Structure 1
Amino acid sequence: MSTDNRPSVLQLQDVSVVRQGRSLIAHIDLDVRAGEQWTLMGPNGAGKSTLLALCGAHQHPTTGTVHVLGHRLGRVDMRSLRTHIGHVDPRTRIDPRVTVRDAVLTGLYASTSLPPRATPSDEEKRKAGELIGMLGLGAITDSPWSVLSQGERGRALIARGLVTDPDLLLLDEPTTGLDLAAREVLLGVLAELRQLRPELASVLVTHHLEELPASTTHALVLSGGTVVARGEVDEALTSETISEAFRHPIAVERRAGRWSATGAVQAYS
């Protein structure tokens, strides 16, 4: 389904970031609209983390303009803006003593434990409980974080990212540390989000094609801080674009909605 008539959630225009004289990303254009599920794909050092920091209102561009949820960075309270963005990062260090319920509620305060005077409303508690159930964690609602598996933590972090009912969800390599079964469960959850929250826009960072949910609609392929390909996913993720980005001959296939990548030295020699 075309999303061209939906509002822009995230827009970058000719954006560059330079740190200590080094160009991290250069001349990036990106327009993410409501309901689109994007991936930022590229090798280590491609600029994915820098770009995600801009998307999450954690840093400013050196040149160019960034609009997040209709607000231009540099003309808005960044801390306030971040409360309207869901962020899922498996490296988040949640207090090991908090329960699953409280871990999800920490998303309301962008903290790793509930602040001492935190008083979530009944509606916020209801929302947290709904997300916990939706993500298959209802049976362990009161379990402490320390006893959860990596897969359970991954799903809880998605609930945490959604508890503020954001319009934009950022996922920073969300399957890091998961075994095969836990990864597939998590990717299934992400695919279901498109049906459960059809207006939610998301941006998922990864350098593994196998870690993309089947619901991915668009892709931005980066290499060396510049754009290799951008657009609808089947046009942007090809053997040619991925081989160029990773500087290695790669054959890309998509079957049953999922991607795989294999070396293809003969095909590109």
Structure 2
Amino acid sequence: MEPAIRTDGLRKSYGDVVALDGLTFEVDEGEFFGLLGPNGAGKTTFINVLVGLVRKDGGTAEVFGFDVETEYQEARDRIGLAPQEFNVDRFFPIHEVLEHKAGYHGVPSDEAERRAEEALKTVGIYDKRDTRFDWLSGGMKRRFLLARALVTDPDLLILDEPTAGVDVQLRRDLWGVIERLNAEGTTILLTTHYIEEAERLCDRVAIVDSGRVVEVATPDDLRSRGTDQLYLTLDETLDAVPDIDLDGVVEARVDGDSLVVTAQGGSRLAPSLLRELEYEGYEVTNLDIRRASLEEVFVDMTRTDDEAEQLGAIHQ
């Protein structure tokens, strides 16, 4: 079975600016895959290469085994794109815009009308079918972009910042729609600046920086690489930090009535830490663990050397 997306050594530059610098990864069919990276990391350029809006300078990119340049039509017919920008014909009712979109992809008129109705119902704006795009609210416009991506019945749904600028309730509503589509078998590629979104929705995420893949892993695997905070309450007031000799401990400090231990893999380390303290003569009466968030790991992985140096100076 071919991957939904396969890219190997993908390169693209705009003059002296390198947007993609050997981008390489795969997305499995049926997977919910996240693409995370700071502004300028190359995410949108990569999407534009996939859908044929930008020609690559080198490397390969395939959608379900079809090369996005030499087999453009076969690849593009399998993709539904909900872009970040509102690039919509504003002079027709939205149901007509969807029908025209389906017709452009070779769908007969009767079937195009049915698909337009189904797509509008899926995203919850069927009652606005006779409304022009400009007259929709911001949240409804986001829903419409998703409907337009769905009207061609794609195997691969690409969502570029699909919930940017919408309120919390609408964001969660859209999450529900997207999750149902993925459960029904649609492969989804998501770019987002909302780390919570990636943590909730994605099977795996690729962290991209400066046009290169920094890491590909599940959200849980990435979180395990961060540093956790263990808050331990002891049966006595501490005047000094106990001696703790365990691999993975980054720092230990006294904070009021608590001993705070910063460690990699805090949940895994906790039993050994409790035994160590017991051996030293301390009794732990309470333990709370605050796991590293995906956002913290993401920031660490994409922080520049200058930013890291500045942060170190602040903490000294």
Question: Which interval holds the TM-score relative to the shorter structure?
Answer: 0.7 to 0.9
The percent identity for this pair of structures is 27
CA distance in 2, matches of 1:45, 1:161: 24
Name 1:62's counterpart in structure 2. 57
Name 1:46's counterpart in structure 2. 41
Please state if 1:210 is matched with 2:205: no
1:213/1:90 CA distance change after superposition, 3 Å: farther
TM-score after normalising by structure 2: 0.67
Please state if 1:13 is matched with 2:1: no
CA distance in 2, matches of 1:229, 1:104: 37
Where does the alignment leave 5 or more consecutive residues of structure 1 unmatched? Answer: 1-5, 112-117, 250-263
Where does the alignment leave 5 or more consecutive residues of structure 2 unmatched? Answer: 224-293
CA distance in 2, matches of 1:144, 1:73: 33
| SS, match of residue 107 in structure 1 | helix
Please state if 1:150 is matched with 2:141: no
Q: Is the CA contact 2:205–2:218 (under 8 Å) kept in the aligned structure 1?
A: yes
1:105/1:235 CA distance change after superposition, 3 Å: farther
* Of 37, 40, 65, the match for 2:32: 37
Supply the AA of the counterpart residue of 1:138.
Y
Could you list the structure 1 runs, at least 4 aligned residues long, displaced by more than 4 angstroms after superposition.
246-249
Q: Is the CA contact 1:12–1:66 (under 8 Å) kept in the aligned structure 2?
A: yes
Supply the AA of the counterpart residue of 1:124.
A
CA distance in 1, matches of 2:151, 2:166: 23
Supply the AA of the counterpart residue of 2:110.
D
1:129/1:50 CA distance change after superposition, 3 Å: same
| SS, match of residue 53 in structure 1 | helix
* Of 286, 290, 299, the match for 1:242: 299
1:225/1:93 CA distance change after superposition, 3 Å: closer
Supply the AA of the counterpart residue of 1:84.
R
Q: What RMSD, in angstroms, separates the aligned Cα atoms of the two structures?
A: 2.9
Deviations 1:198-244 (A, max 9, x none): 2x111111222134373321111011222221133332464334322
Matched residue count: 241
Name 1:130's counterpart in structure 2. 118
Q: CA deviation at 1:122?
A: 1.2
Please state if 1:28 is matched with 2:1: no
Q: CA deviation at 1:31?
A: 0.8
TM-score after normalising by structure 1: 0.77
Name 1:261's counterpart in structure 2. none
Name 1:72's counterpart in structure 2. 67
Q: Which has the higher contact order (CA 8 A, sep 6+)?
A: 1
Name 1:97's counterpart in structure 2. 91
CA distance in 1, matches of 2:219, 2:48: 22
| SS, match of residue 207 in structure 1 | coil
CA distance in 2, matches of 1:109, 1:173: 26
1:110/1:219 CA distance change after superposition, 3 Å: farther
CA distance in 1, matches of 2:104, 2:208: 29
| SS, match of residue 214 in structure 1 | helix
- Bigger drift between 118-127 and 152-161 goes to 118-127
Q: Is the CA contact 1:84–1:167 (under 8 Å) kept in the aligned structure 2?
A: yes
Name 2:215's counterpart in structure 1. 229
Supply the AA of the counterpart residue of 2:35.
L
| SS, match of residue 169 in structure 2 | helix
- Bigger drift between 208-217 and 35-44 goes to 208-217
Supply the AA of the counterpart residue of 1:33.
D
Q: CA deviation at 1:124?
A: 2.0
